Every structure is written in structure tokens, then in C-alpha cells.
């Protein structure tokens, strides 16, 4: 008769130990993030005076709250320490079981084991009628953030508003990857202002949570994680295997694509060789400079091209293409060009990842070993904070439904 009591005692001890370990792990991660973020240039710039007091109060409130019980709730709660800081170069993401098993994603035995794992079974889902939801979302117009989106060729995501007007969920409708199941949650979004969303979403390949302070909805696209609504073909997007391209489009118009300012030894050699081939060839009265999808880099790569275009612009007209995937040094470069004589920017707002940066790759693992933070070490050198999370605005917005080069050429013909 004593066995049930003994079993119950052991069970309570095990559960208590597990809960204590879970609480301890969460508290350690919370404290680690709190102290780590305080060392960043963006925190030191922005969190001063009363803001510093409020930031400490936020930390203390998170310490007192009940420990989150799911992986999503835990990550979301920890991400709140990033909310008061504008710094898109900071990164916070989850390490998962799949991170170290990418080669096995097409292995049937591996997938069978994963489907039986607690990580898969306990992954958060929505409890709604997905057939009805999918039908409703399929009828949403392109201009509405709600709708059905394609994640490349990997899957289909439905985004819809919850009972809270500023709250949205992204749910997996279908997936090419067998590690996902219909109804599992892809993203949790809070609308901070029209068409801007503070988001926790999933890296679709490794199924790990990622924090984004400011994801933007533009003409049927969720910009940060590259979702596109069905039927949307955006001419804003441009990707090239070559980082640099020069061509003569018309006798009076030349084209210059600058896709990277990376300062790696390899790219510096490529950039210098390209610069040397074009430095004496910019002779046409019109020049289109295409910065689309320039993720940035360093001044020591960008400066040579800036000097060349600056000299050219004194006597000729320059038309610069920018899109939402222009980051960091690419955005700073666009701003420098914007200030030049005879120069206009065309396209859409850039990414808004511009003010800070990192000289070295400083990725830190949190005490629980489940999450990582990529920290910054570079100060804002020229009051770029006013563009952080907003981006650089073009002088003339282009229509995403028509070829951008053709639109610029039409503008040139008309002016």
C-alpha cells in the first residue's frame, strides 16, 4: 500500500526538479541577455536617463513573471529585452535539433524519428478550421497583409489577424519539408505602426525561432523573411550571381550594378578589378546605378565607387535604384549618392538596418545552449539612427508590377 505514495513522492521530486531546472535556465538566459545588451553601442546611445530606469524595470518584471512553459513563449518573452533598442544588426535566434542535422532532412528514418520526438509533437499549433481559413485568406487583396503567402518553393503560409487588432499569426498551410505539419505556427506578429510588425518567426529550414524588430509589409510581400503572396511578381526584387555588372543599355544610357561592398580579401580583389575596367568608361550622359539587394560591407570597398560616381555626377545625371533588401553600408552609400548633384533615388524604402554594425563576428550562446545572440560593436558614425527600422526613402517610388529599369528609362525619356 505504500508503493503509490512512494511513486507519487518520486514523481513530485522529478517534476519539481524539472521545473526548478527550467526556471533556473530561463532566469540565467534572461540575465545573460540583459547584461550583454547593455554592452552594445545601440543600448548606450539610446537607453539613457529615464529610459534606463524603465529598461531595468522591464527586466525585473520579466524576472517576476511565471516562467514560460513552451519554447515559443520562452523565446518571445526573452525577445522583449530587444524591444526598446533600435538596432537591426543585432540578431537573436534559436538553436534547434535540426540545426546540426540538415543533411538528414531527406532521410526517411531520420524524419520518422523526428516526427516521434517531443520537439515535433510539442511544437505550437493553431486550433482553427484551416480549410475555412485558407478559403477566406485566398480572397484577401494584395494590399491587405492578411492572405496566403509563398515561402519560395518550401511552403505556403497563411497570415491572419487574431481577436486583437494589432496581433497576427502566420500558420503553415503546406510544406515541402517533412519537418513541418499543417497548422503549426510560423510567425507571431505585433503591428507597431501601419505595415510594420515586431515579429517572432521561424527559420523554415531548421525550425528555429528568429526575432525581427521591424518586418515590413510592401505590396504583397513581407520584407524581412521574403514571403510573397500568391500571384505577386515583384520587379523590386533583383538577384545576380555577379556582384558587379556594367553595360551600355542605350547610346545615351549606361548601367552599373553594385551588388556588394563586402571587404573580404576575395571580394576586394574582384571589386578593384571591376573598378579598374570601368573607371574610364563612364561617358554617356545618363547613368543608372543599381544598388538592389546590396547587403552592405565596408567603406574601403565602397569609397572607390562613390568617388567615381561623384565625379561623374558633376556633369551628368545619375539614377539610383534601391529596394527593401539594401542594407547597412548599401544604405549609407545610397544616402551619400542622394546628396550629390544631378542624382535621384528610385524604387522603394531600403531595409532600415543602417545605424550600427560589427567589426567582428561576435555570436554568443546563452547559458541554456538553446539560443544565440549576434552582438554589435560599431557606433553610429553619422546620426543614421533616424533611418533605423525606417530606411532611406527614394525621391521617386516605382511600381512593383512593372520592370524597374523600363520605368527609369521612361522617366529619362520624359525628363
Residues composing the chain? 415
Cell of 352: 532600415
**Does CATH place domain 244-354+391-414 in 1.20.120.340?**
no
**What is the rounded CA–CA span in Å between residue 138 and residue 230?**
9
Q: What CA dihedral angle connects 295, 296, 297 and 298, to 10 degrees?
A: 180
Cβ–Cβ under 8 Å, residues 155 and 172 = yes
**What is the rounded CA–CA span in Å between residue 370 and residue 362?**
17
Cβ–Cβ under 8 Å, residues 47 and 56 = no
% of the chain surpassing 90 pLDDT: 80
State in words which class domain 1-95+362-378 has: alpha beta
Per-residue pLDDT at 2 = 41
Cα→Cα distances 258→109, 271, 360, 405, Å: 45, 9, 24, 15
Statement: residue 5 has pLDDT above 80: no
Question: pLDDT band at 22, cuts 50/70/90?
Answer: low
% of the chain surpassing 70 pLDDT: 94
As a whole number, mean pLDDT of residues 344-358 equals 95
Cα→Cα distances 235→70, 136, 245, 258, 282, Å: 40, 27, 18, 17, 26
Model pLDDT for residues 188-242, shown as the tens digit of each residue: 999 999 999 999 999 999 999 999 998 999 889 998 777 999 888 888 888 899 9
As a whole number, mean pLDDT of residues 291-307 equals 96
Q: Where do the structural domains in the chain lie, given as residue ranges? A: 1-95+362-378, 98-232, 244-354+391-414
Statement: residue 3 has pLDDT above 60: no
Average pLDDT, the chain: 91
As a whole number, mean pLDDT of residues 140-160 equals 94
Statement: residue 11 has pLDDT above 50: no
Amino acid at each position: 500500500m505504500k508503493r503509490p505514495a512512494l511513486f507519487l513522492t518520486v514523481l513530485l521530486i522529478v517534476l519539481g526538479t524539472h521545473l526548478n531546472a527550467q526556471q533556473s535556465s530561463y532566469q540565467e538566459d534572461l540575465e545573460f541577455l540583459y547584461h550583454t545588451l547593455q554592452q552594445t553601442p545601440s543600448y548606450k546611445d539610446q537607453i539613457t536617463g529615464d529610459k534606463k530606469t524603465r529598461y531595468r524595470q522591464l527586466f525585473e518584471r520579466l524576472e517576476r513573471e511565471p516562467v514560460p512553459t513552451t519554447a515559443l513563449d520562452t523565446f518571445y518573452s526573452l525577445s522583449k529585452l530587444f524591444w526598446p533598442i533600435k538596432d537591426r544588426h543585432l540578431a537573436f535566434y534559436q538553436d534547434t535539433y535540426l540545426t546540426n542535422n540538415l543533411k538528414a532532412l531527406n532521410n526517411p528514418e531520420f524524419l520518422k524519428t523526428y516526427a516521434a520526438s517531443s520537439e515535433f509533437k510539442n511544437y505550437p499549433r493553431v486550433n482553427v478550421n484551416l480549410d475555412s481559413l485558407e478559403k477566406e485568406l485566398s480572397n484577401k487583396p494584395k494590399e491587405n497583409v492578411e492572405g496566403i503567402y509563398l515561402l519560395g518553393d518550401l511552403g505556403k503560409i497563411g497570415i491572419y489577424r487574431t481577436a486583437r487588432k494589432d496581433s497576427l499569426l502566420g500558420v503553415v498551410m503546406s510544406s515541402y519539408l517533412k519537418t513541418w505539419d499543417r497548422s503549426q505556427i510560423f510567425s507571431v506578429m505585433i503591428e507597431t505602426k501601419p505595415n510594420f510588425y515586431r515579429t517572432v518567426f521561424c527559420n523554415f529550414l531548421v525550425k528555429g525561432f528568429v526575432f525581427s524588430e521591424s518586418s515590413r509589409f510592401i505590396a504583397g510581400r513581407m520584407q524581412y523573411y521574403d514571403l510573397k503572396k500568391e500571384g505577386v511578381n515583384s520587379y523590386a526584387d533583383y538577384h545576380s550571381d555577379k556582384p558587379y555588372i556594367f553595360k551600355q543599355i542605350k547610346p545615351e544610357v549606361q548601367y552599373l550594378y553594385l551588388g556588394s561592398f563586402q571587404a573580404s580579401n576575395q571580394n576586394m580583389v574582384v571589386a578593384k578589378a571591376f573598378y579598374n575596367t570601368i573607371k574610364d568608361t563612364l561617358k554617356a550622359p545618363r547613368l543608372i546605378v543599381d544598388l538592389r539587394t546590396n547587403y552592405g560591407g565596408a567603406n574601403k570597398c565602397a569609397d572607390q565607387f562613390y568617388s567615381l560616381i561623384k565625379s561623374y555626377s558633376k556633369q551628368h545625371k545619375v539614377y539610383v535604384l534601391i529596394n527593401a533588401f539594401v542594407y547597412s553600408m548599401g544604405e549609407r552609400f545610397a544616402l551619400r549618392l542622394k546628396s550629390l548633384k544631378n542624382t535621384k533615388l528610385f524604387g522603394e524604402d531600403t531595409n532600415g538596418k543602417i545605424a550600427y554594425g560589427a567589426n567582428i563576428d561576435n555570436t554568443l550562446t546563452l547559458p541554456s545552449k538553446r539560443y544565440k545572440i549576434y552582438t554589435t560593436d560599431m557606433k553610429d558614425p553619422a546620426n543614421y539612427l533616424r533611418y533605423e527600422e525606417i530606411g532611406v526613402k527614394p525621391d521617386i517610388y516605382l511600381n512593383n508590377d512593372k520592370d524597374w529599369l523600363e520605368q527609369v528609362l521612361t522617366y529619362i525619356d520624359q525628363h
